Every structure is written in structure tokens, then in C-alpha cells.
Amino acid sequence: MDNDSLSPFFTPQGVAVIGASREPVKLGYQLARNLVQSGYTGAVHFVNPRGGTLLGRPIYTSVEAVPDPVDLAVVLVPPPAVPAALHECGRRGIKAVIVATGGFRETGPEGAALEEQLLVIAHEYGMRLVGPNCVGLINNHLPLDTTFLPPPGPPKGDVAFISHSGAICAVVIDWVRGQGFGLSHLVSLGNQADVSETEALGPVAADPKTRVVTLYLEGISDGRRFVEEAARVVREKPVVALKVGRFESGRRAAASHTGALAGAEEAFDAAFRRSGVLRAATMEEMFHWAQALAWCPLPKGRNVAVLTNAGGPGVTTADALELNGLRLASLSAETQAALKALLPPAASVHNPVDMLAGATLEQHAESLRLLLADANVDAVIVIIPPSPVSSAGAVARAIIPVIQASDKPVLAAVMGDRLVQEAIEHLRAARVVEYRFPERAASALSVLAQRAEWLAAGEQKPITLEGVDTASARSILAHHPQDGFLPANAAAGLLEAYGVRAAPMELARSAEEAVHLAQKAGYPVVLKIASADITHKSDVGGVLLDLRDAKAVAQGYDAIMRNAATAEPKARIDGVHVQRMLPPGQEVIVGVVRDAQFGPLVMFGSGGVEVEGLKDVAFALAPLTERDAQGMLERTWAGRKLGGYRNLPPADRQATLQALARLAQLAWDFPEIAEVEINPLRVLAEGQGAYAVDVRARLVHPAG
């Protein structure tokens, strides 16, 4: 459904509280109180079969008796009574319902069945549900508070918070109040029987009062839909997510390196990168980033100046900048000369700029002005520790006008606690982002740079591919209707159909046939055991390289067959593949595995037998954009050394990118492909291409 069906949740004309209570200890009372005290100007209706009055308003004995207008209901009655309440809402014509009641899917099978019943009723009446098992919603600028959380509510602000956890909502409300910023929306989704985080994202971000959206996620209900919607939102508003449960899901059981390494968190990382969502590691980090994104202009680059009156914090900040992918700006000669004329002789006018402990208020303000005026400086971190000369509060007052007059981001590291409280209050009132330590400021500034770079890159489209023969690939797959691994030649044929060159190989079923095929291919050759049941051929002595004559091939055939039978006595062995030895090059692994949430997940990294030990791998969602493919190479040593390293000559980077994109498109086009792996992909010298040396492909048909 479209976002119009969700508008009553955020901007209702009238709200009915079903289960309102006159007893202050009951959640039904607290919900009613919050709604009234929020200042909501629409119609407020209370419903309870016992009737009476509450907070100066009548309590209606049924939903049917509630007068117009009413387009949102909040249900807080015992779980067995919720279905009847939904029927009443449906008959009354209410199209939006928040089920705050718990006791559903989270409690076990009986609760899950009851929750499914709610969804059936909602569909019957064309009704949208938030919850169950949630704490409700807050639209701070309407204003509207449909939660039962303890007062006071969050201060008004420009950061929206969408959460799968209700308890976290209560924590966040109290925490942001102490941090000096506020919320535009708070959305508790609970069990997401109907409305999901993906659907809530658009309406919350569309509010002009929202500058940043934050997400507390325990999972995603529809991965591909989330990526599409988040990418649309991120082009207008930044989105920061905290995905929890990182280490609980474990690894999926799979027969390839790609499947073994592609856990759920790698898929989430790839999804967030594709959509432009910024992934925080902690809740504190998420809100620190959000505050900077809401209050700061974006930098034009990654060159940062540091202004301090103490040497140690300046060095600490320099380290933090490098750790976060930022650089110390090289100050111009004019800036250094001006600083030298302004500051004492012992001061350091190189970056970090150390004004010394005796710096005056005027020196603070003018030094900052000079740094911001330097064309080499994209952003500034100002360090404000307790000073023996001027109070931290006075320093803050002196620099605030300079910060407000600049179009470059300035973040403050106000170091300390009690002695810097006045400075903190001044900076918060002026909407200047401040942190207790410079490491946090550097982290937030790095996110501002990431956001700027994302926007500058523009919308990315999948890589355009030529020479793709989908008909041939479809024909190969049609000849293998069963689930399981394709024969090696069929797997290679799939790659060839999509323009990925596979090293030619043929199957020998005897030593004599192996010799014949080797002579036909031309020496030197490689022999590999041919068995869909043996995943890692080298581990069982199933691979021999650089065989240069008939005797070596014949002996090699017998040795490989013997080794495989000993190591894997139950494996089906078809024979031995004979393959011409390729020219030297760099070896990488390229793979794709189908993730249940996000679809085909592409892997690139260091290949060979040690891939799982090295874990030098990167992932992205298919189909690949140019940014995805380049990013995978840049994030791995395998990709970076394609440009050459010491005595290692440059390899064909463009051929590698093409192989990645073509493999990704193959998996995207054919859902029955569960996983494909090329290990290794031999990347030859620049301009000479790349060859798939060993290929495995596994099918799982929709009915399989």
C-alpha cells in the first residue's frame, strides 16, 4: 500500500484510545494522559465498556459510539480482546490502528496464531496496523503522543527514530534530552505484523521537520524493498541504522567458500552500502552521527584542521582523523603567516594548530576564522579543554559566531565534565555539535564526508553489459532441472554465455584418455578431480599442476583417482578434468550466493586454498553498479594489488570488474542459481583478460 494509507498514524484528525483507564497505575491511563498532555489539537476519544470520565473527557462504552472525527485508534486491551476491538474499529471505518498490547508472536505459537488473526481482520477492513507489542508513535511537531511511556516526552528536534524495540524508545527519549537535541518522530513498530520499517521510513523522512532518520533494527522484513526505499529516501535525507544481533545468526551452511563467508551481517552491510544507509556500531554512535548530520553543513573534502590550546589532545585528534579516513589539511603559507603574527612565538602554526594554554578569547576566534578561510581546509575540529586563562564557556561564546558564519563544518571536542558544562550548554543552544572526546568528533566528521561523497556520486545504475547470451544460459539450466551442483562443463558454459571466459577443459575417464586430451590441449596441463561431491579438490590431493609430458599425466591421473577414493570413499567420481595451464597472473575468488533477504550477494577477494583463513573478501548486492564493483576491489588487498605491488606486475583490473558484473547479472537473471563460485579467477596482465580456472554452480529450483 502507498504512504497515504499511513498518514492517519502521523497526522490523524481524531484519535480513539481503546482501553483507556481511570486508574493511574494502568498503561491505559498513562496513554490517555500522554495524548492529552502532548497538546494534540485533534479530537480525543476514550473507550472503555465501564464508561465514566477521564481527564475531563467522556469515556465511550463502545467504538461505535465514538463521534467523528476519528481515523486512528490505539488499542490497549488484553490480548484475547484485541480481535473484537479490531472488528469494532473496522465497522466504525477506522483505517489505522496501533496495537500496543503485547502477548502475541513474541510469546510463542499461540500468540503467533492470535497475531495472524489480527492481520486477517485488518485485511478484511482495509485497515493498517502498527504493532502489536509496541509502545506507539510520537509526532513531536504536530504534536501527537500515542505512547504510554513515562513523561516527559522527548524535546522537539529534527532527528526521527524508528525502532523495533519499545524498551529502547524509553531509553532514547531520556538520553536525547540529556544530550541537548530532540526528536521529530518516534515510531515503535513492535512485531510488525503489518507496517514495517520500510513503510515507516518514507512518511517520517518526508516530514520537513525531519533532517535525519535513525533506525534501530533487529532484522528487515523485505530486504530488496528496503534497499529500494532507503535509496530513495537517502537521496533527500541521511539515514543512520543500528542493526543489532550481529553475532547471533551464525553462518549459513553452504558448500562453497562464498556461502561459508557470506553471513547475514555481510548481506546487511552490502544492503546498507547499496542504499547509502550509514551503519553505526553502537546506539551512542548512531545518535552522535545523526546530530552532526542534522546540524552541520557537509564538507567538500576530507582535509581537516585541528585547533587546540593543548598539545596532547591535538595529537590524539590527528590519530583519530587518520583512523577515520580523514587527513590533516596542509595549511597555506598565508594562513601560517597570519597565525604566526597572531599567536605567541612558541605556538605551533602547523596543523594541528596549538595556540598554547594561555590563548585568549580573541586568539581562539581569529585562529578559527583563519583556518576556515583557508581553501585547503574542508572542516575544523576545535578542542576546548578546561583552560587556566579563560573559562570553557567563554571560549565557546567567542567561537560560536565564527562557526555560524561559515559554510564549513566545525565540530567541538569539549574535553572534561563539570568545568566545561557552561561551554556545552552554549554550543548546544547554538546548534554546534560537541562531543566529550576528539575520537567521537572525528568519527562524526568522517560520516559527514561519506554523506557528501555519496551525494556527489549521484544515482548509480547497474553496469551495462554486452555480449550476454541469456538464451544459451537458459538452455543449459533447462537441461538440469534437478537441485544440486551442475557438471563442471555446464557451469563453465553458463559463464561463457555471460561473457566470462572459462579455461577450456575436458573430462578424461582413463589415464589413456587423459594423455590424449593433454596432447590435444598442449603441454603443460593441469589435472583436477571431477566430482560434484568434492568441494575442496586440493584438500584431497585432487589437483596436480604443470604436468609437462604423457608419463606425468598418466601417473597423475592414477594418483588423483586414488587420492580422491581414499579421502572421499562415498563420493561420486566422474573422472579427471584436463585443462591447459594458463599463463601466470594474479588469482582471486569471485562468487555469488543467494541471500534469503536481499537476493544475490556477490563476493570478491583473495582466492586459492586459503580464502576462508585469510577472509580478505568484500560483498555487494547484485546487479552491480560501478561504485559497487570498484568498492569491492578497493576494500580488499586482492583488489588493490591488481594495480601491481613490488615485483608483482599490474593485472587486468577492468577484466576483473567485468567478471564480477557478469557473474552478478547471471545470478540476478536466474533465481534458480543458488550459488556460483570461481576459485580461482586467473587475472592476466593488463589488457589480456581473466579466466575462470575452477567453477562450481549449485541450483535450487523454486519447487525444489
Q: Other CB atoms closer than 10 Å to residue 259's CB: what's the count?
A: 23
pLDDT at 249: 42
pLDDT at 612: 67
pLDDT at 204: 97
**In terms of C-beta density within 10 A (0-12 exposed, 13-18 middle, 19 or more buried), how is residue 348 classed?**
middle
- How many folded domains does the chain comprise? 4
pLDDT tens digit string along 666-675?
999 999 999 9
CB burial readout 331-341, b (16+ within 10 A) else e: beeebbebbee
Q: Could you tell me which residues come within 8 angstroms of residue 542 by beta carbon, excluding any fewer than 6 positions away?
A: 528, 529, 531, 534, 560, 563, 564, 567
596, amino acid identity: A
pLDDT at 250: 37
- Measure the CA dihedral 263/267/269/275, to 10°: 180
Looking at the domain assignment, is residue 684 inside a domain? yes
CATH number at residue 702: 3.30.470.20
| Residue 431 and residue 482 in one domain | no
pLDDT at 501: 93
| Residue 415 and residue 541 in one domain | no
72 close to 8: Cβ distance less than 8 angstroms = yes
pLDDT at 512: 94
**In terms of C-beta density within 10 A (0-12 exposed, 13-18 middle, 19 or more buried), how is residue 141 classed?**
middle
| Residue 480 and residue 442 in one domain | no
Give the DSSP per-residue string, 367-433. Answer: HHHHHHH-TT-SEEEEEE---SSS-HHHHHHHHHHHHHT-SS-EEEEE--SGGGHHHHHHHHHTT--
Tell me the CA end-to-end span of the chain in Å, nearest whole number: 31
Q: How far from 601 is each of 249, 269, 295, 668, CA to CA, in Å?
A: 17, 11, 35, 9
322, amino acid identity: E
**In terms of C-beta density within 10 A (0-12 exposed, 13-18 middle, 19 or more buried), how is residue 267 classed?**
buried
Looking at 210, 244, 259, the residue that finishes a domain is 210
- The DSSP bridge partners found for residue 137 are 187
User: 599-606 and 617-621: which strand pairing?
Assistant: antiparallel
Report the C-alpha gap between 118 and 189 in whole angstroms: 15
| Residue 24 and residue 153 in one domain | yes
Looking at the domain assignment, is residue 224 inside a domain? no
| Residue 7 and residue 154 in one domain | yes
Looking at 555, 581, 607, the residue that finishes a domain is 581
- The DSSP bridge partners found for residue 665 are none
Looking at the domain assignment, is residue 250 inside a domain? no
Question: Domain limits at 545?
Answer: 504-581
pLDDT at 453: 96
| Residue 434 and residue 536 in one domain | no
152 close to 172: Cβ distance less than 8 angstroms = no
292 close to 433: Cβ distance less than 8 angstroms = yes
| Residue 528 and residue 671 in one domain | no
Nearest Cα neighbor of 691 from 658, 667, 664 is 658
pLDDT tens digit string along 268-324?
999 999 999 999 999 999 999 999 999 999 999 999 999 999 989 999 999 999 999
Report the C-alpha gap between 678 and 675 in whole angstroms: 10
Looking at the domain assignment, is residue 392 inside a domain? yes
| Residue 553 and residue 608 in one domain | no
* Residue 581 in grid coordinates: 595451464
Looking at the domain assignment, is residue 22 inside a domain? yes
Q: Could you tell me which residues come within 8 angstroms of residue 57 by beta carbon, excluding any fewer than 6 positions away?
A: 36, 44, 45, 46
pLDDT at 607: 79
| Residue 510 and residue 537 in one domain | yes
Looking at the domain assignment, is residue 225 inside a domain? no
User: 525-530 and 575-580: which strand pairing?
Assistant: antiparallel
| Residue 53 and residue 175 in one domain | yes
Report the C-alpha gap between 341 and 344 in whole angstroms: 8
Looking at the domain assignment, is residue 277 inside a domain? no
Q: How many residues does the chain have?
A: 704
Q: Does residue 83 sit in helix, strand or coil?
A: helix
Looking at 155, 180, 210, the residue that finishes a domain is 210
pLDDT at 646: 84
Report the C-alpha gap between 659 and 590 in whole angstroms: 8
37 close to 151: Cβ distance less than 8 angstroms = yes
* Residue 537 in grid coordinates: 579438490
Q: How remote is the C-alpha of 523 from its chain's centroid?
A: 49
| Residue 568 and residue 588 in one domain | no
Report the C-alpha gap between 77 and 450 in whole angstroms: 46
CATH number at residue 132: 3.40.50.720
Identify the segments of the chain with pLDDT beneath 70: 1-3, 247-263, 608-612, 703-704
User: Which strands, in side-by-side order, build the sheet including 212-217?
Assistant: 144-145, 137-139, 183-188, 156-163, 212-217, 239-243, 278-279
pLDDT at 251: 39
Q: Which residue has the cell 566422474?
A: 574
Looking at the domain assignment, is residue 482 inside a domain? yes
CATH number at residue 364: 3.40.50.261
| Residue 605 and residue 689 in one domain | yes
